[in-house]
């Protein structure tokens, strides 16, 4: 259901897609066969030079289970957008998520706030975007502090040479046993379009540099797109996870160092090898 006031805000209630900025944290996952949608309430509108949006969504319904009760999982957000100059606009946002207990995780209680800033715009053939967020909160009694940065700069060629070229980066903290920083909570993103079609990375424990190119044929409905990515773990003592958060492993050299250091002196006399170990799933 949607209610639109004449020359005023609009209110939408019910199942709907949600999208925030470049979709690095909240997006509809529209590349999949079945896009992501939320049971949500969303209010959006314009106030002079400011555009605003507020939403709240239930991502898992409340439930009772043996030995406990969960209030469910929730997502809330607010964003204000303004055009600073002709070639630069700013989005200021705040995201919040609450995850309650589960049957197989009865002590899970996660509350994370993620304020952020996105700068974007175009100047002639140049396109640019930069986004940063800091996360604060509590994850089942453990203090959560994390950050992520991402940016892209692109150039669109003239009509005589249709195509574009872009380069960019992404950095997101990861959790390790000896550091204060935790792994970035990627919320509900559309990671597929940012980190390669293999979906082996998300915006967590990541350092990414990339170059993207596109060429369009003038005489035929043909478009060629290519990309070159360079990935590494932000912290090789923390887990490596894919676009949807599944743990793929840990750095092999780190696992070998941990294996050697944990052995008694007489055990370290021989050789030690280790394959990447798997960690917890989110």
Residue 181's nearest CA partner among 204, 151, 150 is: 204
Given a cut of 90, is residue 71 above it in pLDDT? Answer: no
Give the chain's largest Cα–Cα span.
Answer: 80
Q: Indicate the number of domains in the chain.
A: 1
Q: Which domain holds residue 22?
A: 2-249
Residue 272 located in a structural domain: no
pLDDT given at position 273:
32
Residue 269 located in a structural domain: no
Residue 57 located in a structural domain: yes
Residue 136 located in a structural domain: yes
Given a cut of 70, is residue 264 above it in pLDDT? Answer: no
Look up residue 9 and give its two tokens.
Answer: 């805000």
Look up residue 42 and give its two tokens.
Answer: 């969303």
Residue 271 located in a structural domain: no
Residue 282 located in a structural domain: no
Given a cut of 90, is residue 176 above it in pLDDT? Answer: no
Beta strand 68-70 pairing with 63-65: antiparallel
- Average pLDDT value over all residues in the chain: 86
Given a cut of 60, is residue 156 above it in pLDDT? Answer: yes
| Better pLDDT: 196 or 225 | 225
pLDDT given at position 4:
84
Residue 214's nearest CA partner among 163, 143, 154, 251 is: 163
pLDDT given at position 64:
82
Identify the CATH number of the domain in which residue 75 sits: 2.40.160.100
Look up residue 161 and give its two tokens.
Answer: 């040479």
pLDDT given at position 220:
80
Q: What pTM does this model have?
A: 0.83
- Dump pLDDT digits (tens) for 235-260: 988 999 998 889 988 755 544 444 44
Residue 64 located in a structural domain: yes
Residue 206 located in a structural domain: yes
Look up residue 131 and give its two tokens.
Answer: 């986004």
| Better pLDDT: 86 or 218 | 86
């Amino acid at each position: 259901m949607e209610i639109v006031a004449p020359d005023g805000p609009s209110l939408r209630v019910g199942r709907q897609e949600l999208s925030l900025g470049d979709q690095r944290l909240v997006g509809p996952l529209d590349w999949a066969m079945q896009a992501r949608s939320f049971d949500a309430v969303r209010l959006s509108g314009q106030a002079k030079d400011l555009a605003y949006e507020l939403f709240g969504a239930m991502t898992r319904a409340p439930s009772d289970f043996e030995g406990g009760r969960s209030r469910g999982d929730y997502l809330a957000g607010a964003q204000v957008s303004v055009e600073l100059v002709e070639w630069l606009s700013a989005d200021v946002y705040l995201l919040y998520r609450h995850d309650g207990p589960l049957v197989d995780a009865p002590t899970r209680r996660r509350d994370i706030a993620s304020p952020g800033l996105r700068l974007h715009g175009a100047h002639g053939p140049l396109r640019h975007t930069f986004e940063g967020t800091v996360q604060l909160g509590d994850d089942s009694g453990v203090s959560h502090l994390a950050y992520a940065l991402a940016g892209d700069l692109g150039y669109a060629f003239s009509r005589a040479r249709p195509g574009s070229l872009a380069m960019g980066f992404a950095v997101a903290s990861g959790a390790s046993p000896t550091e204060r920083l935790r792994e970035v909570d990627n919320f509900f993103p559309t990671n597929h379009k940012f980190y390669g079609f293999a979906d082996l990375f998300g915006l967590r424990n990541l350092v990414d540099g990339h170059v993207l190119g596109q060429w369009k044929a003038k005489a035929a409905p043909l478009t060629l797109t290519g990309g070159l990515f360079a990935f590494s773990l932000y912290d090789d003592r923390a887990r490596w996870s894919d676009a949807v958060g599944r743990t793929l492993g840990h750095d092999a050299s780190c696992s070998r160092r941990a294996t050697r250091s944990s052995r008694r002196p007489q055990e370290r006399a021989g050789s030690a090898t280790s394959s990447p170990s798997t960690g917890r799933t989110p």
